[in-house]
Structures are given as structure tokens and as C-alpha cells.
Structure 1
Amino acid sequence: MPTFSLVIPVYKVQGYLPECLDSVLGQDCTDFEIIAVDDCSPDGSGALLDEYAERDPRIHVIHLMENVGLGRARNAGLEKARGEYVLFLDSDDTLADGALSAMADRIGATGRPDILVYDYARTYWDGNMRRNQRADLLRYEGSDAFSLAEHPELLDLLQIVWNKAYRRDFVTGAGLVFPPGYYEDAPWTFCSMITAERIALLDRVCLYYRQRREGGNILKTVSRKHFDVFDQYGRVFDYLDAHEGLDQWRGPLFRKMVDHYLTILERAGRLPQNARAEFFHRASADYRAKLPKGFVRPPGNDGRKYALLERGAFTAFMGATRAAKLRDGVRRRARSAVNQSKRRAMGLIYRSQLRAPLDENLAVFSAYWNRSVTCNPAAIDAELARRAPHIRRVWAVRPDAVDEVPAGVDFVRVGSREYWTAVARAKYLVNNVNFADSVVKREGQVHVQTHHGTPLKTMGLDQRRYPASTNMSFGKLLKRCDRWDYSITSNRHTGVVWERAYPCSYETLEAGYPRNDALVNAGAEDVRRARAALGLADGTKAFLYMPTHREYQPAFVPSLDLARFAEELGPDVALLVRGHYFYGNSPHVDELRRTGRVIDVTAHPRVEELYLAADALITDYSSAMFDYAVLDRPIISYVPDWETYSVVRGTYFDLLKEPPGAVATTQEELLALLASGAYDSPEAAGHRDVFRRRFCEFDDGHAAERVVRRVFLGEEQPLPFVPFDERRAVPTPAGAIEDDAHA
């Protein structure tokens, strides 16, 4: 029997779940089991649990067939628990290092109490942390456990279950279970604390309580579900009625009940405006029905509120809270003034258009900071033209990029009258980066964030741990991300990263990357056409070299000696060099272009055509590796500065241990791999297969169709994915040439 059973209910937390599980699995105390309950989560959380369970036998996963809610999910886990003590951990929270060891030591020192209460700290997206404001209640150094009657002030701790370890025999003997509902923690917490004969305290932060920026706490949402609080306190007093020996707690719990009702009434963002009077009168009736004999109201303003509630004087109560409303009004007016200032800066044209009705059949597209018509937005645009031709499609491009707009594509110049009109009136805005800060998200508009790659390097809020890699304002970043309605992913890894790195209220759309449809669906003729456009002869082997940006390098300096490459690999090999877009055309490459052996493809408008033309990819940390892997062609990771890059920028996995193919850390190793053909060995192919199954899981050639069906046509039922092993193979350059010869 393990010392601890950690029950973790899981629902729509794929962005936070790995951190939660890792915080438990990394404890120095290893005598535990995890009972993870997948509450029919619609995202990838269930699959993540299964992956962790395959790697660690201490994890037991329960998959519920329907969503039952937090309380009943906890009950399902509790039934399977075998540990001496049970802990309830929410799946977006984490254990502090050494927490379980500290609990075990304290449990032993206090003679195995019924309940051990420990401390927690709130953590925020901006890196701030704040310890429980009533931490003073845990400062008890005695070696003995005690009853609640000896320290009744513990009832003033927040009524939560996850700051306690419960002896399982005590829970079973008391018949404790979680009820359904919004406030299920209240009856469990109060009933367990007043029933326990022996309680111990641990004055140590053992848990980090994540304050999710996007409103992950359902108790802070406007809803009639807050009426559930009446049922929960009904259960508390029913418990008292059934246990005569606990009658002394009626007064303290009555006060906790009334204070809770008043909190819901007075806090903004809880009750709908038209439900406040109804809630007040329900609370008033509860007050009179449950009022204990001899109860003395608290002094001062709190006592006056109690009196008004007892009398059912709603109008007078609202008048008593007018001062708080006035303060809220001042804050609202201040926010409004800021917004008005921003709108003024946008100009009269934009402001006037923001007041005009939305055009339900207008979509504005942009890519790479308005530089071109490309990437995922371009693929969605093309699919939209086929499936919803009634929607007018307009591209926003910079004035200096107008010449790059394909013939027949409607566009507006960024900053023009037409641009401000389009972004103000369009129902749909699609981009692979964020729109400018000055673009206002209107009610009814739909913003689609397609992204432009699978992340190896840290992104978003995760970059805070690597300050040398960025000087961005994370607050402004998240305000831009707040506009997203949909975030598109090509694999579960990406969805998990985005939900943690960009914690905003959007829907993750597991569709695949639309730009990769062109790769999955390519035929031999597409491959031949791509090679011909680059002037590649049939017998030429083409390597596409795509290094990524280094924050510690001010300019593009290839770590590969291109002249030596051309000399050692012979005349039948060509190198296609594509510098990161931060650098533009490179003078280093210009010197070698005249040989015809090195082709600068930095300015090529469609990277997908370069992928089709290349026999193999040479890259380092670029997201190109994830897209090129769709083709199932060799990938060589040339990473001479891995130690520096991983420290300065940070990565989500170790590329040396989980590569997409062969790995070279020096130029000599790279040239040897290429000259010998070892870059395409069975071992390299094995690495590539594992990599593809992880990172190309949604890229089945129907990504753009999924996006159009869900976003623009409103179809709720997702298009099924083609099973990975049933997907057609894309012809290699050699295969395409052979097909042409036999035609």
C-alpha cells in the first residue's frame, strides 16, 4: 500500500497537464500512486494521460464515458485509491518540490492524523507568486494533532479540498463523498474538518495554485450556476442534522454560509444582473430557515448586512453596497477612457467603420506581418474559395509587397482607407501572426490564429525563462492573443504548448496545418514541376538548407561552409539555401550563386514547392523539420551550437535525443553523412518514423477543409482523420522522375 494516492480529475487541461504530472513524478518521495480521471475531456488530455501511464506504472488512468463534473470525477478516483492518505490535485496546479516528503515527515511526527492541512501559493501568468493570505493559521509547531474545537479559526481557511491530505480510512469511515455541482468543495471541506478527531498542520507551501489568466476558475464566471451554493449548504446542514454530536458547529457554519452568500452577491462577475434579487431572496429564506438559536450577528457593517439579509430587504441592501458600485463605476470609466483614447489614435475612418455593421461575408487574410500571400492563411483562402464562394476574401499587404500579390487576389494596402474599412467590417480575420495592436476585436468578429510552425524553441510566456531571447512585453502579447477565437494545431504537442504559452480563451482546433495539404496531396507531376522551376536537372540530388534565426547573432552567418560543401559533394549535388526571413537575401550566398551549385531560395514565395523539390532537408532548430517530415524524406539535423541555442532560447525537447533523422554536430560529421549516404540509413529512418507519428499526426491532407467547415460553415462534427498508416506516400524526386520516364 503506497503512502499517498493522488486523485487528479482531468478536463480540458492539455496545456497544463504535463507540468502537473511532472511535478508529482519528480518528487523525491516516490511512495505514491496517481489516480488520473479523464472526465471525458474533448482535447488531448486523455491521450496524454495514457502516454504518461505507459511510461510510469504508478499512474492509473480512468476514462469516463461521459462528462460528470469535478466532484463525481474525484469520487471515481477515490474508489480506486489504495494509499494510506489521499490528496486531491487539480490538473492545472502543481506540487512544490519536496512536498510529499514534507507531508510524510509531518504525518509521522504527529501520529498519523485524520487530516494534514498544508499551505499553498497562488501563481500568476506573469511569474508573480503570492502565498495564502491566511498562512498565519498554519503556524503551529506542536508535535501533537488536535481537534477543530481546539483551533476553530481553521474554518477561516478557504473551503478547498486540495490543501489537505486525508487518511483514507477516516474518509471511508465518515462516508465522505463529493456531491455534484458548482461548489462541491464546501460540504466536503466543512464536513471532514468538523468530523476529524485529529488534525495536523504543515507550515509549508506544498502546492502552487495556478491563477489562469483566461478565466479557468468557473467560480469567477457570470452564471446562474452560482445558485448551486444553496444546495451545497443544504448538504452541510443535513450532515449536521444527521450527527447530533456536531451540533456545536451550527453557529460557525451558519456564519460561513452567510458570508459565502454575501460574497456571491457582492462580487462582480458572478451573478447575472437579472438574477441578483432572486438570489438575495433565496439567501434570505435560507438565513431564516437555518438561523441557530442564540446566534449573534457580527459587529459593524457586516452585521448590518446580516440584518438586511434576514429581513429580506433587497432594496436597502443594494443601497448599502452603493459605495462599492461607485468604485466599480470609476474603474469602468477609466477603462473606457483608455479605450476611447486608443480608438482616437486609429483615426476617424476606422472609428466610423467600427460603428458600421459587420459584413458577414467578408474575410480578411494576412501572413507574416503583411509581407506576402502565403502559409496557412493562403491555404485556407484557397479552400474557402472552393467551399464558400459567397464569402469575399481580401488580403492585407504592406505597400511594398503589393507586387507579390498573385494575379486575381483581392487586396488592400495596410494603413489605407480600404484597409481600415476591411478590418473593421470583416466577420473573419485570419492571420499566422498577430494583427497589429491597433486592430480592435469587435463583438461578433471571428479571429483565426493559424500560427506558422510547430514549436521546438520556447514561445510566448515560456520565453520568460530565457530573457536573453526576447525583449517583448508579455502583457501586450496576451492582449493581442485575447482576440483569438480559434488556434490551429497540427499535433497535440503544439496544442499543449500554445495553451500554456498563450493562456487565453480560444478554441484549439486540431486540424493539421493547412499549408501542408499541398505536401500530403502532391503527386509526381507536382514534384517534377517544382524541380523544373528551380532549374534542377533530373540527375541532380538537391539538399534544402534551412537554418533558423539565432538571437545571439545579428546577421545571417551560415555555419556551413558552402564552398566546401560544393567542392566535396561533387557536381551532381545542389544546395538550396533559404536564410531565415529576418535576414533577407544574404551576401554570403550571393558569392556562390554564380557557380550554379548553390541556389539562393530565400525569396522564393512558396516554401512548400522547395520541400517538394528537395531530396533531403538540412536544418537545425527551424520548424521546417516538422513540415518536411510530412513527405517522409530524410532530414539531417545540423546543430553545431546546440548547447548555446538550448540555453539561450530554450527548447521543448532535446533534439539530440529525439531527432527527426541523422544528427551532425560538426561540419565534418555533416559532410561525412552526406557523402556516405548514412543520412538515409535504416537508423535515421527509424528516428524519422517516430518523429512523424508524433508531429504529423493531424496532417492528412484535409486540414484546410477542417478549418473551413468549422469556422466558416459552422459544422460542429469534425472531419475524421485519415489513419496514419493509411495515408498515401508522396513521390520522392527520384520516384517522380522514374514515373515520368515510364509514362
Structure 2
Amino acid sequence: MDKKTLIKDLKFIILTCAKYSARALYHIGTHVLSPKDNIILFESSNGRNYTGNPRYVYEEILNQGLENELKCVWVFMHPEAQKIPGNGIKVKRSYFKFLYYAIVSGAWVFDSRHLYYLKKNKKTKYIQTWHGTPLKKLGLDMDYIDMSGNQDIEKYHDEFIKNSADWQYLISQNSYSSEIFKRAFAFNGEMLEIGYPRNDILINNNNADYIDKIKSKFNLPKDKKLILYAPTWRDNEYYQKGEYKFATEMDFDAMKEALSDEYALIVKYHYLVKENIDWKKYDDFVIECDAEWDIQELYLISDVLITDYSSVMFDYAILRRPMMFFAYDLEHYKDSLRDFYFDMFEEVPGPIVKSTEKLIEEIKKLKVEDYELKYGQKYDDFQNKYNEFDKGIASKTIIELIRNGN
């Protein structure tokens, strides 16, 4: 065995021993240490980034000047790469400091399933915010899976049931979600029908001054209309477990040629997508998001949303702006990958197109008054059903629960 291989093997052994030692200490610690009401543990997207509902709860804590009262801890896979405002503590997922705070935190605020070996203290409030109104079947409603090659649906169901058993509270955006969550997550805790904290900004900050500040912050053009392209991920198109490809059949050359005089296109990957595409040839048209760009702010500055089967449609609908659905693989996606809870053709308040040519055609003839005339009633129905509980006070409600609730 050469020296390089030996060192690699030793590192693996050391890291493995450290990992299992940390977990052993964690389980011992759960019987020795008690949670403190003023410590809150936050995690978004399984520690991948600083975003979503947990982010907006945290920032409301800052806005209310509660930093000295509440000690906030953020969990990240790579803490050194994440920037957060305020005095929040950053810890590395699965490491000792993280496990310590998992034990002593009086509240967990997560938006995805927690690590399988964590066990919540009975005194810790677990507020599961989830990450969107369900369009595609999820959890126990799924009859099959093909996620990064994982096709064991029974194991997936078992893991979900064990995980959701710890959830004390679950946030819902609408009655539709509440019913699905109870069944799909086998959830027996308290449903908080208060809307999503991340959507408070769409209700409270939808004004010209705030939008102009965001454009300046991201150095976005102010002389063009902005299209946000935010597609979802495809379960079976991946590089490795948890890292998915940017799957699209959009012809960016054609989009640029037809639209660049009037529009710029912001491309926002799903958080599970890992890509390193060179967009330089589209420099004056395509704008690739930096990792820290928050999608709620991108909603606010966008004149049009293009998506496919992503739950971004439910949040964006709050703004009542034009939406288009580039669903080039609709039949395959629905029949072979993930079943839908609803009929896109009947419900979505915008055109469903399957080619770039048709998409360009719809954008070129787009006028807000014409769009409203054609899709106004569908938009009314869509908002009434899916934005039912979004009132702009969800973050404040969560903070009140953490500070004063039982």
C-alpha cells in the first residue's frame, strides 16, 4: 500500500470514528442536558443554504430587536461559505457543536426532514415549516420513487413516519396543504394554518422603492423587464445522491435573439441542483443567480415567472403577475416520475407550453391587461385556494409561539 492510499484510509477511519463517537455522545447528552427556552436552532434545505421560511423567522427576530433575548444557531453543511446577518452562531451539520445545540435548543425551526439519528427532547418545540405547497405527490402518498437511484419506497415511507413523529407543529399555506400534509406525513401534531413566513415580504414589501433596492443590491438592469426562470428538479437526472442536474430543453439562443431587446432572463436553480454552466455567451441576457440570492426577493423584482412543476407558482401567485409554464416533458414527468395532486391544465393561471418557440410567442404577445382578461378568473380561484392563509404575519406568529406558546 502506497503512502497516499494509507493516509486516505487513515483519514476515513478517523472521520468514521469521530462521526459515530459524536452520535454516541449525542445520545448520552440527551439524557444529561436540558433544553433552554431562549436557544433556537435553524436549518434550511438540510443545511445547504440560508433561505426559506427559517430565514424569514430569523430575520424577523432581528427586526424586532430580540437578538439579546434569543440565541439563534444556524446549521450548515459548509458554515464558512454562508453569510448571515446579525449575531447568529453557525455550526457544521453532524459535528459536535451542532449536536450540542440540537440537545440544548428550546426550539427547532426546520424546513425539511431532520437527520435520522436526531431525537427531539420532549421539552423542545419543533416547528416544521416545510418548503412549499405540494404540487407533486410526496411522503406516504408516493407509490414509487427514483431519487438519485433510490427506489426503495417502503424504506422511504418508514423513514418519513419516524421523522414526522417528532414534529410538534407544522406550518400550512392553505387548507389544501393541511389535508395533504396530515395524510402524506402521517402528521398528528398541531397544524399552524398561518401561511409561510417567507411570503410575508411579498405582502409587506411589494412596492417600487423596495424593488428598486433589490435590483441595486443584485446589480440587475433597470431598463429591461425581468423574467424569472425557476424550474424544479428531475428525480432521475442526477450526478450523485442529493445533487441533481439542471434539466431543461429551453433554447437560450432563441430566447436571447427574440427577447433580449426588452427582457433579461434570471435563471434560478432548485436548491438540489448542482451545476456549473458557463453563461458568458448570454452575458447581456441570461443572469445566473448567486447562491445567496433569495428567491422571494427575485419574485418581487420579476415581471414574469416561467416555471414547470415547481411549487414556486404558489408563492409567486401572491403578486398576481403573469406566469408561464414551460412543461416540455409534462406527460413523461406526470406518468413516469411524479404524480400530481392537481390538474395543471385546469388550474394554473397561465399558458402551458412545450416548446421554446411557443414560449417566445406567449411572451411577445404578453400585455398585462390581456393576461388579466384571459386568466383573471383562474387567478382568483388559484389565489383563493392556495394563498388562503398568507396574510403577512406568519413570522411574527412563529416568534410569539416560541417566546410564549406552550
| TM-score normalized with structure 2 length | 0.85
Cα distance in 1 between the residues matched to 2:176 and 2:121: 31
Partner amino acid for 1:526? Answer: Y
Secondary structure of the 1:441 match is: coil
Q: Percent identity?
A: 29
Q: For residue 440 of structure 1, what is the aligned residue in structure 2?
A: 119
C-alpha spacing 1:369/1:460, structure 2 compared with 1 (3 Å): same
Structure 2 matches for 1:312-711, cutoff 5 A? 346-348=23-25, 351-352=28-29, 354-385=31-62, 386=64, 389=67, 390-398=69-77, 400-408=78-86, 409-463=88-142, 465-468=143-146, 471=151, 473-522=156-205, 523-554=207-238, 555-587=245-277, 590-593=279-282, 595-601=283-289, 603-647=291-335, 648-677=337-366, 681=371, 682-711=373-402
Q: Distance in 1 between matches of 2:281 and 2:237?
A: 22
- The residue type paired with residue 342 of structure 2 is F
In structure 2, what is the Cα distance between the partners aligned to 1:344 and 1:505?
33
Cα distance, 1:709 vs structure 2: 2.3
Q: What's the counterpart of residue 15 of structure 2?
A: none
* Contact 2:50/2:292, CA 8 A, preserved across alignment: no
The structural deviation recorded for 1:358 is 1.9
Shift of 1:353: 5.2
Shift of 1:344: 7.2
CA contact (8 A) 2:76 2:91 kept: yes
Partner SS for 2:59: helix
Question: Could you give the per-residue CA deviations for residues 607-650 of structure 1, whole angstroms, max 9, x where no partner exists?
Answer: 11111111010000111111111111111111121111111200
Report the Cα offset of residue 533 of structure 1. 2.9
What residue ranges of structure 2 are gaps of 5+ in the alignment?
Answer: 1-18, 239-244
Contact 2:109 2:126 in 1 (8 A): yes
Counterpart Cα distance in 2 of 1:544 and 1:615: 8
Q: Kindly state the Cα deviation for residue 431 of structure 1 after the two structures are TM-superposed.
A: 0.3
Q: Which amino acid aligns with 2:159?
A: K
Change (3 A) 1:381 1:535: closer
Q: How many residues were matched structurally?
A: 370
Change (3 A) 1:512 1:506: same
Instruction: Give the whole-Å Cα distance in 2 for the aligned partners of 1:685 and 1:601.
Output: 31
Q: Is the 8 A contact 2:44 2:110 kept in 1?
A: yes
Please give the alpha-carbon distance, in whole angstroms, between the structure 2 residues aligned to 1:349 and 1:426. 13
In the aligned structure 2, how far is the partner of 1:701 from the partner of 1:549?
29
State the secondary structure of the residue aligned to 1:656: helix
Partners of 2:377 and 2:37 lie apart in 1 by 49
Residue equivalent to 2:14: none
Q: Given that residues 79 and 91 in structure 2 are in contact (C-alpha distance below 8 angstroms), is that contact kept between their aligned partners in structure 1? A: no
Spell out, residue by residue over 1:483-530, the C-alpha distance to the aligned partner (whole angstroms, 9 max, x if none).
100000111111111011011321110010000101111132111112
Query: Does structure 2 conserve the Cα–Cα contact (< 8 Å) formed by 1:585 and 1:602?
Result: no
Secondary structure of the equivalent of 2:347? coil
1:581 match: secondary structure: coil
**8 Å contact from structure 1 (residues 579, 602) kept in 2:** no
Shift of 1:445: 1.4
How far is 1:438 from its partner? Answer: 1.4
What letter corresponds to residue 304 of structure 2 in structure 1? A
Kept after mapping to 2: 8 A contact 1:580/1:602:
no
Deviation for aligned residue 1:468: 4.3
In 2, Cα distance between equivalents of 1:382 and 1:358? 23
- Write the distance in 1 (CA, Å) between the matches of 2:23 and 2:146: 33
Matches within 5 A, 1:125-274: none
Q: CA deviation at 1:404?
A: 1.2
| Maintained 8 Å contact 1:466/1:650 | no
Tell which deviates more after alignment, 400-409 or 541-550.
400-409
1:453-493 CA distance string (max 9 Å, x none): 11100110111x24446635211111011110000011111
Q: How much has 1:690 moved relative to structure 2?
A: 1.7
CA contact (8 A) 1:432 1:451 kept: yes
TM-score relative to the length of structure 1: 0.48
Higher relative contact order (CA 8 A, sep 6+): 2
CA shift at 1:407, angstroms? 4.2
Contact 1:350 1:420 in 2 (8 A): no
**Shift in Å, 1:418:** 1.9
Letter paired with 1:646? K
C-alpha deviation, 1:602, in angstroms:
5.6
1-side partners of 2:222 and 2:107: how far apart?
44
Name the CA shift for 1:653/1:535 in 2 (closer, same or farther; >3 Å).
Answer: same
Tell me, what secondary structure is at the counterpart of 2:47?
coil
